[in-house]
Amino acid sequence: GASNVISSTYFNISQNGNATISSTTCVDTSNGNTTVTNTSTLGVGTHVIRCTVTKSTGTSANAQTTIVVNAAYTGIGSGTYQPGQVVTFAGIQWNVMNDNGTSVTLITKDVLSSSQLSSNAPKGFYKDDKMGHCARPSYAPEYHLYCFSNTDSHYRVYSWEFSGIKKTIENWLNGNSVLLQAKEDGGLINMSFSDGISNYNGYVRIITHSETLSAYNAGYTWHSNPDFKVATLTSQGGSRANGSNLVFAVNTDGSVGGMMATITLSGWGGQYGALVRPVIQVKK
C-alpha cells in the first residue's frame, strides 16, 4: 500500500507552550492497540488510529482518525483474451474489444440501466427515460452550441468535452469502488481517443466510430447484435456528417441499418436514446 507517516500525514501536531514534545505514539485501536507508524503496515480494511502526544512535563493529549485501506488492483488475470469474450471485472460483465498483450480494452456487455443513467447524469441530461448526449436548448442551453441542430439542417461541431455522457459515465465509474481503486492504483489506463474533432484522454469513454467499423470488418458480431448495442463518438451514416455524433447500425451484409445507439438528437427521428456502454482499458 501507500507509504505515509501516520502522525504527520493524518494529524496536525505542534508544540503548545514552553514544554517540548517528548514522544508521539500511534496505535491501531481496531487491531489490539498495535503500535503503528506508517500506512504501509496497515492491512486491507478499516483502521481506527489513535495518536498520543506526550510533553516533557508528562502531560499528554490524544486524537484519533479512521484510515480505510482498500485492496490493491490485481488486474483481470493473465492470459490471452479474444474479442467478444465475456469477462467479469468489478462486479460487471464486459465484452473484450482488444487485447494488446499487457492490457485489455473492455466494453460493458449491457447498456447502463435507467437508474444508472438517472443517478449519474448531470441535471437536464436524462429526461423521460432517455439520455441526451448533448441537451436541447430548453434542457441545458450552455451545451447546445456543441449539439446537432434540428432547426436548420446543419450539423454543429460535436465536442466530447461538453457531452453529458462524458460526465455521466465518469460519475458511474467513480461510484464503483473497484473501478475507482483501479484508477487510483494505476490499473486503469488513461486512454487517448478522439471525438473526430479533438483529441482527449480519459479513464472511461464510449466506443469510437473507427472501433465499431474495425469490429465489423473483422467479423465480430458483439457490436451489432441488437442486444449489445453500442454508443459511439462519431457518425456512421454513409458519410460522416462533419464530426457529428449520429450513429447507425451496420447490418450483417455491411449496409447501413437502423440506429445503433443514438445518444444525441437524431436529425432523422428526432429521438433520444438511452443506450450507453462505457469502455475502459485495464492492465493485466
What SS3 string covers 178-194?
A: HHHHHHHHCCECCEEEE
Alpha-carbon gap, residue 19 to 82, rounded angstroms? 67
Which pLDDT value is given to residue 1? 54
Model confidence pLDDT, tens digit, residues 129-156? 666 555 444 444 444 433 443 443 333 4
Going through the chain in order, the beta strands assigned E by DSSP cover: 21-28, 34-35, 45-55, 60-69, 86-89, 92-99, 103-108, 126-127, 130-131, 191-194, 199-202, 205-206, 248-250, 256-259, 278-283
Q: What is the pTM of this model?
A: 0.63
The percentage of residues in the chain with a pLDDT greater than 90, rounded to a whole number, is: 36
Q: Over the stretch 56-97, which tens digit does the pLDDT of each residue have? A: 999 999 999 999 887 766 778 889 999 889 999 999 999 898
**CA nearest neighbour of 149 among 65, 256, 38, 266:** 266
Query: How sure is the predictor about 2, in pLDDT bands with cuts at 50, 70 and 90?
Result: low
Percent of the chain with pLDDT over 70: 61
Q: Which three cell numbers stand for residue 181?
A: 481503486
CA 196, CA 162: separation in Å to the nearest integer? 14
Nearest to 92 by CA among 110, 73, 115: 110
Mean pLDDT (whole number) for 198-224: 72
Is-contact 180 71, C-beta < 8 A? no
CA dist list (Å): 64 to 7, 20, 45, 185, 214: 10, 21, 16, 26, 55
Mean pLDDT for all residues in the chain: 72
**Per-residue pLDDT at 72:** 66
Backbone φ and ψ for 180, nearest 5 degrees, come out as: -65, -45
Give CA–CA dist 64/29, Å, rounded: 9
Match 493485466 to its residue by C-alpha cell: 284
